[in-house]
């Protein structure tokens, strides 16, 4: 048969187009979108303003190149405004399908309809298979799956842990257990994560933040294994579907059940689940990219375009999702609610979230509707919402993201990362900034009325060096990414301390080990919410690769033998998480004021120089003393904490401030001491030296806790 499009006529052999019976009006309500199971069949609901015809292509098997049946939407009876709405009786869960739409092809005004294209339903609940090889020029993407969302949650509900009490662990589902050293039954899967729950519990974290689990391409559009591979998954195909590549077996749609089982078991262990979501771009790319889904349904609605139809690129990935268009905004809301309601997700981290602050022309606006509505949405009220408050086009909104409404937005604090790195590297004039970051970054978050827990503090994340590499490399080593080492961040505030990469020199190894402990101790002693990158607790290395997005191999995988090899560091981090969870003085919900609310008690925070006197913020110094009192903390478990920091290259004498000498102090941390003297898990180490004077070695953090 012939399929008519706007600009050309193509000849495509297809099965006979089948008519469908029209049901009574009471069954024709057109929402929600997608393929929805109803009594006796499936209802397909699709948005398109400009399409002139719409079809559903049905398949019997994942491997089928051609549909077994094509069903047309009737342009009058099956269209309500811009909603195409078709009920097909007799269809069941597990059905495989694509969409197909006719319409104008005029890229200069934003139309890219292609009546031959097989389209992924934007609301597909699951995908099956991969891109198939093709000889006729037609791209055959993974097939959509009709899903039955019935699941036995066994009474599971959201954990609703306060953000201030949260410790986040960022991990990659596949990379966490893919290594043979993981010794799990199903490596690289959702079930593999379940098998490692005892490790997560022992580590002491309270939430896992999963790198993207929305569907993304496994093969390229020609059906070939891509080189380099798409490992991280920041290339969404279907926002409503869990990634099929992390499931056991190949049963279409079974990833839905397996993902829910993972969430249920993590919740049973007291661990929340936060998703890293990518609503800033898709796998369709720019004007040279394929028509896979959104482009073939309403391109100029779903993407930001220039006046000539060329894609705006605030994401750095070719296209930019038009998040503040009402239709796209509605889709994002449906998606977030879908994950909260159907998957019991506890929160979201929004990748390149500053794009969500751009209007339909790409201009940053002060009160973006999407950002405000996410904060105000009642279905999301119990969830954590976290912004990566920048984008690839120069927007940097750390401390100023989502400051309207209920002040719900927390943020990845990039300034915390940079300032703490620079302080411990020994950069000059960083003492004041270090104090501000330790105290919760009030300079960033207090002006908008937010609190310390709105700062997600981190030293490392998936994007950049691992903690081990941060102290082992001064230059990125990304040659394996096949981009001539031109990708990845150039300014990492790192140091190799004398030799690039691995070394057997004991003095360098000792200093690197000390610095990793300084970073971790700082992170867990700071006000705000700590986040650690999976593997940092056992000193995982990527051999200097700071942009391992395509390294689906041992470069990125968690190497479980490191648990024994670097047991000293693991013990150190476990002790930090345990101390933080039992010490409310480090998890304040209000900013430190530098004063006491009761006569005779220590101020909530006091700052001193190494001489034990009030710090001179104008003096170039690499030494700092922080005294945290319990004022303002109504919890008998709270204890005063004394933190001594020295980032200099030579030893420095410290004197404990006179105001603190009446308390009975016990050592908790000494990063310069060999294990087990580096940390006392019960904060019951030796008292300060007689006379309250001590010598701190170079690059050392020491912490005392009052009994």
Residue 26 has a pLDDT of 39
Over 50: is that where the pLDDT of 392 sits? yes
Question: Is 418 among the catalytic positions?
Answer: no
> Please, which pLDDT band fits residue 55 given cuts at 50, 70 and 90?
very high
Higher pLDDT, 348 or 1: 348
pLDDT at 19: 52
* pLDDT digits 0-9 by tens, 150-168: 999 999 999 999 999 999 9
Same domain? For 424 and 562 the reply is yes
Domain stops at, among 585, 619, 635: 585
At residue 597, the pLDDT reads 76
Q: What is the mean pLDDT of residues 337-360?
A: 97
| pLDDT surpassing 80 at residue 31 | no
Q: Kindly tell me if the per-residue pLDDT of 230 is higher than 70.
A: yes
Do 114 and 102 contact (CB within 8 A), yes or no?
A: no
Q: Is the same domain home to 57 and 111? A: yes
Determine contact, residues 412/387, Cβ cutoff 8 Å.
yes
Q: What is the pLDDT of residues 432-465, one digit of tens each?
A: 999 999 999 999 999 999 999 999 999 999 999 9
The parent domain of residue 105 ranges over 2-145
C-beta of residue 126 within 8 angstroms of C-beta of residue 112? no
Shared domain check, 176 and 120: no
The last residue of a domain, from among 565, 585, 605: 585
> Has residue 355 been placed in a domain?
yes
Q: Within a domain: residue 55?
A: yes
Higher-confidence position of 22 and 634: 634
Helices (H), 344-489: 369-376, 414-425, 431-438, 442-445, 467-470
Condensed to tens digits (0 to 9), the pLDDT of residues 612-653 reads 999 999 888 999 999 999 999 999 999 999 999 999 999 999
pLDDT of amino acid 619: 87
Q: Give me the catalytic one of 78, 235, 351, 463.
A: 351
Q: Which of 569, 585, 601 is the last residue of a domain?
A: 585
- Residue whose C-alpha is closest to residue 374's, from 344, 419, 404, 341: 404
Percent of the chain clearing pLDDT 70 (strictly above) = 95
Considering the domain boundaries, does residue 591 fall inside one? no
The pLDDT of residue 620 is: 87
CATH assignment of the domain containing 182? 3.20.20.80
With a cut of 70, say whether residue 29 has pLDDT above it: no
Mean pLDDT of 680-701: 97
- What mean pLDDT is predicted for residues 467-490? 97
> Cα 650 from chain centroid?
39
| Calpha distance 569→217 (Å, rounded) | 36
What is the model's pLDDT at position 10?
31
| End-to-end Cα, the chain, rounded Å | 84
Q: Is 237 found in the same domain as 117?
A: no
| 52 shares its domain with 185 | no
What pLDDT score does 2 carry? 29
When the pLDDT of each residue in the chain is averaged and rounded to a whole number, the result is: 94
pTM score: 0.95
pLDDT at 500: 98
Cis peptide before 53 (omega within 30 of 0): no
Residues in the chain, overall count? 707
Residue 332 lies in a domain: yes
Q: How confident is the model at residue 5 (pLDDT cuts 50, 70, 90)?
A: very low
Residue 680 lies in a domain: no
For residues 190 and 336, state if they share a domain.
yes
**What is residue 598's predicted lDDT score, i.e. its pLDDT?**
75
Other CB atoms within a 10 A radius of the CB of residue 157 amount to 9
CB-facing half-sphere around the CA of 42: CA atoms within 13 A? 22
Q: Which of 388, 411, 419, 670 is catalytic?
A: 388
548 confidence band (pLDDT: 50, 70, 90): very high
62 and 134 co-located in one domain: yes
**What CATH number does residue 120 fall under?**
2.60.40.10
Within a domain: 287 = no
Is residue 692 in a domain?
A: no
- Give me the pLDDT at residue 39, please: 87
Give a yes or no: residue 299 inside a domain. no
Same-domain pairing of 472 and 565: yes
Residue 508 and residue 499 in contact, taking contact as beta carbons nearer than 8 Å: yes
Q: What is the pLDDT of residues 649-678, one digit of tens each?
A: 999 999 999 999 999 999 999 999 999 999
Number of domains in the chain: 2
Q: pLDDT, tens digit, for every residue of 559-612?
A: 999 999 999 999 999 999 999 999 999 999 999 999 987 776 899 999 999 999
Q: Is a pLDDT exceeding 60 seen at residue 493?
A: yes
Residues 407 and 445 in one domain: yes
Q: Say what the pLDDT of residue 12 is.
A: 37
Closest CA to 349 of 217, 558, 529, 126: 529
Average confidence (pLDDT) over 232-260? 98
Catalytic residue check, 463: no
* 130 vs 418: CA distance, rounded Å: 40
Q: Do 418 and 447 lie in a common domain? A: yes
Q: Are residues 128 and 59 in the same domain?
A: yes
CA distance 418 to 519: 12
SS3 of 98, please? strand
| Per-residue confidence (pLDDT) for residue 406, from 0 to 100 | 74
Same-domain status, 417 and 545: yes
């Amino acid at each position: 048969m012939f399929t008519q499009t706007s600009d050309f006529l193509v000849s495509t052999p297809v099965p006979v187009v089948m008519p469908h019976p029209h049901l009574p009006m009471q069954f024709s309500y057109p929402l929600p979108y997608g393929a929805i199971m109803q009594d006796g069949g499936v209802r397909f609901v699709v948005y398109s303003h400009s399409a002139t015809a719409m079809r559903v292509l049905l398949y019997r098997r994942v491997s089928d190149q051609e549909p077994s049946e094509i069903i047309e939407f009737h342009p009058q009876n099956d269209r309500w405004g811009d909603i195409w709405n078709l009920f097909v009786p007799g269809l069941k869960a597990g059905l495989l399908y694509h969409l197909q739409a006719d319409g104008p092809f005029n890229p200069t005004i934003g139309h890219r309809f292609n009546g031959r294209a097989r389209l992924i339903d934007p609301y597909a609940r699951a995908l099956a298979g991969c891109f198939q090889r093709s000889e006729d020029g037609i791209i055959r993407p993974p097939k959509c799956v009709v899903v039955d969302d019935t699941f036995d949650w066994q009474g599971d509900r959201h954990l609703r842990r306060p953000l201030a009490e949260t410790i986040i662990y960022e991990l990659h589902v596949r990379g966490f257990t893919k290594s043979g050293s993981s010794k799990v039954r199903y490596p690289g899967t959702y079930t593999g994560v379940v098998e490692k729950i005892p490790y997560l519990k022992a580590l002491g974290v309270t939430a896992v933040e999963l790198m993207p689990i929305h569907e993304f391409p496994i093969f390229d559009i020609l059906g070939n294994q891509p080189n380099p591979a798409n490992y991280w998954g920041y290339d969404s195909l279907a926002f409503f579907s869990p990634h099929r590549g992390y499931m056991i077996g190949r049963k279409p749609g079974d990833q839905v059940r397996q993902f829910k089982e993972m969430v249920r078991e993590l919740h049973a262990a007291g661990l929340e689940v936060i998703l890293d979501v990518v609503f800033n771009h898709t796998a369709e790319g720019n004007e040279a990219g394929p028509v896979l889904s959104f482009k073939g349904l309403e391109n100029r609605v779903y993407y930001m375009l220039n006046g000539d139809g060329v894609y705006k690129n605030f994401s750095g990935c070719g296209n930019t999702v038009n998040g503040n268009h009402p239709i796209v905004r509605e889709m994002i809301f449906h998606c977030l609610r879908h994950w909260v309601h159907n998957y019991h997700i506890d929160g979201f981290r929004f990748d390149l979230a500053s794009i969500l602050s751009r209007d339909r022309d790409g201009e940053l606006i002060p009160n973006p509707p999407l950002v405000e509505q996410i904060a105000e949405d009642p279905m999301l009220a119990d969830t954590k919402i976290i912004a990566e408050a920048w984008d690839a086009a120069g927007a940097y909104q750390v401390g100023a993201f989502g400051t309207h409404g209920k002040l719900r937005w927390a943020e990845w604090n990039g300034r915390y990362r940079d300032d703490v790195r620079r302080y411990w590297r020994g950069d000059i004039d960083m003492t004041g900034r270090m104090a501000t970051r330790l105290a919760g970054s009030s300079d960033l978050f207090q002006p908008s009325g937010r609190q310390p827990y709105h700062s997600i503090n981190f030293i490392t994340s998936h994007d950049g060096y691992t903690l081990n590499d941060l102290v082992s490399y001064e230059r990125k080593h990304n040659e394996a990414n096949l981009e001539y080492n031109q990708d990845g961040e150039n300014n990492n505030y790192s140091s190799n301390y004398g030799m690039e990469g691995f070394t057997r020199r004991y003095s360098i190894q000792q200093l690197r080990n000390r610095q990793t402990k300084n970073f971790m101790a700082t992170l867990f002693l700071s006000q705000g919410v700590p986040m650690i990158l999976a593997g940092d607790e056992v000193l995982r290395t990527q051999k200097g690769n700071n942009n391992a997005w395509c390294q689906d191999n041992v470069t990125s995988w968690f190497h479980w033998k490191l648990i024994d090899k670097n047991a000293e560091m693991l013990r150190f981090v476990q002790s930090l998480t345990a101390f933080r969870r039992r010490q409310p003085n480090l998890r304040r919900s209000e900013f430190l004021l530098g004063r006491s609310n009761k006569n005779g008690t220590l101020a909530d925070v006091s700052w001193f120089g190494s001489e034990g006197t009030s710090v001179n913020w104008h003096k170039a110094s690499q030494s700092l003393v922080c005294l945290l009192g319990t004022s303002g903390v109504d919890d008998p478990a709270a204890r005063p904490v004394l933190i001594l920091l020295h980032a200099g290259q030579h030893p420095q004498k410290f004197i404990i401030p006179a105001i603190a000498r009446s308390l009975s102090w016990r050592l908790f941390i000494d990063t310069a001491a060999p294990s087990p003297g580096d940390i006392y898990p019960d904060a019951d180490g030796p008292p300060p030296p007689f006379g309250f004077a001590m010598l701190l070695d170079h690059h050392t953090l020491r912490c005392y806790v009052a009994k």
